[in-house]
Amino acid sequence: MNDQHNPEFKPTKTVPNTHVDLSDIINLFDLEKRAAEIMTKMAYEYVASGAADELTVRWNRESLDNLKLNPSVLRDVSQLDTRISLFGDELPYPILIAPTAFHKIMHPEGELATARGAGVASATYVISSFTTTPLEEIAEVATQPLWFQLYVQDDRSLVKDLVQKAEAVGCRALCVTVDTPVPGIRNRQDRVNFRLPDEVKAPYMHGLGDQKKLLTWADIDWLNSFSNIPVLLKGILNPADAEQAVQAGVSGIIVSNHSGRNLDTVPATIDVLPGIANQVNKRVPLLMDGGIRRGTDVLKALAQGADAVLVGKPVCFGLACGGADGVSKVMTILRTEFELAMTLTGRTTIASIDRSVIWKPA
């Protein structure tokens, strides 16, 4: 056992300054294995764990695996176009970096490395409210669009200031996380007594766990009333909430179960996506995350009605293993696999990816 995997091991510094050889990392599962070897136990457990019995974590993957593809043959697949347009920006491919907290426990360069990796991979990066690096510093190194993920805290004037700061540094959209009124049961994190090392701070967050005023639809109206950037709701899992979100005037919806980290036994996101897509009926962009690990998963999510997907855990593992290089490697692997999946199913444009891509028994 590596020292860092000894439960008694106490990190003496934020995180080892690791930069492992990434040349033999072929897919995102390889990367998680490597990350498990090199991350501190506390950081690894924080990233890898889900809520309670982790059934939803498992279902996210199983449901994606259980969908079968239905290729169309003899199409001219010599030219692919994977571009999408979201809120006025053209993205070269429909995969974004999901907001994840505390990057400095994963790599000493923290969110700066993530932003640099996103830049190399031409990916949009959604910064977490729990960033351990000030927004101005991230914006300074970013070369691709940034979005901001908002946790609404009790002090609404601080929330307003934070939204305005995100706008001022150039964030292009605001993802309001609506699935975490209180923290979920996180047994694995409790077992390692998860806490931030003293030298790591999340400068914008002050006790989400002690909320007195819980987020409601009235707060979404309030955010919409002053936000100058599109407001998306992150954490929608059923058509009724999606409808209410559209009626509330949001600009987009992220179908998410928080990677199974909050409420265990909610369904896999890929399973609820078609019903939500039917309800939303393209009135606003629909994004999805949860368990995306393969290019075929991206294709399946788009086929079931998503306009784009986000990836969380793999980016954290990439960051831990190789800083910016690790982050760009994750995005490049997924993008390349996605392009191949399009080619091999005979779909050359994003618009041509519809439910016929999914195999159904005759």
Residue numbers belonging to the annotated binding site for glyoxylate? 46, 151, 186, 261
Among 208, 215, 254, 350, binds ligand LXCWX6NK (CB under 6 A): 208
C-alpha atoms less than 13 angstroms from C-alpha of 252 in its C-beta half-sphere? 26
131 binds, among ligand FMN, ligand LXCWX6NK, none (CB under 5 to 8 A by kind): none
DSSP per-residue letters across 79-90: --B--EEETTEE
Q: 319 or 348, CB closer to ligand FMN?
A: 319
Any contact of residue 183 with ligand LXCWX6NK (CB under 6 A)?
yes
DSSP helix/strand/coil, 323? helix
Any contact of residue 288 with ligand LXCWX6NK (CB under 6 A)?
no
Residue 45 and residue 191: Cα distance in Å, rounded?
9
Any contact of residue 130 with ligand LXCWX6NK (CB under 6 A)?
yes
> How many amino acids of this chain bind ligand LXCWX6NK (CB under 6 A)?
8
CB of 102 to ligand LXCWX6NK, least distance (A): 7
For β-strands 252-255 and 286-289, DSSP reports them as: parallel
Segments in 97-227 forming alpha helices (H): 110-120, 135-141, 156-168, 187-191, 217-226
Cβ-based neighbour number of residue 154 at 10 Å: 15
CB of 202 to ligand FMN, least distance (A): 9
Any contact of residue 209 with ligand LXCWX6NK (CB under 6 A)?
yes
The residue annotated as part of the active site, out of 5, 103, 107, 258, is: 258
CB of 101 to ligand LXCWX6NK, least distance (A): 4
- What would the two tokens of residue 136 be? 């101005």
Closest CA to 168 of 145, 139, 190: 139
Binding footprint of ligand FMN on the chain (CB under 6 A): 46-47, 98-101, 128, 130, 149, 177, 234, 256, 258-259, 261, 289-292, 311-313, 316
**258 part of the active site:** yes
Taking CB under 6 A as the criterion, which residues in 88-117 touch ligand LXCWX6NK? 101
CB of 100 to ligand FMN, least distance (A): 4
Closest CA to 63 of 361, 352, 358, 329: 358
- Spell out the residues 6+ positions from residue 98 whose beta carbon is closer than 8 angstroms to its own: 126, 289, 310, 311, 312, 315
How many residues in total does the chain contain?
362
Any contact of residue 338 with ligand LXCWX6NK (CB under 6 A)?
no
User: Which positions touch ligand LXCWX6NK (CB under 6 A)?
Assistant: 101, 130, 180, 183, 208-209, 258, 261
Residues tagged active-site: 258
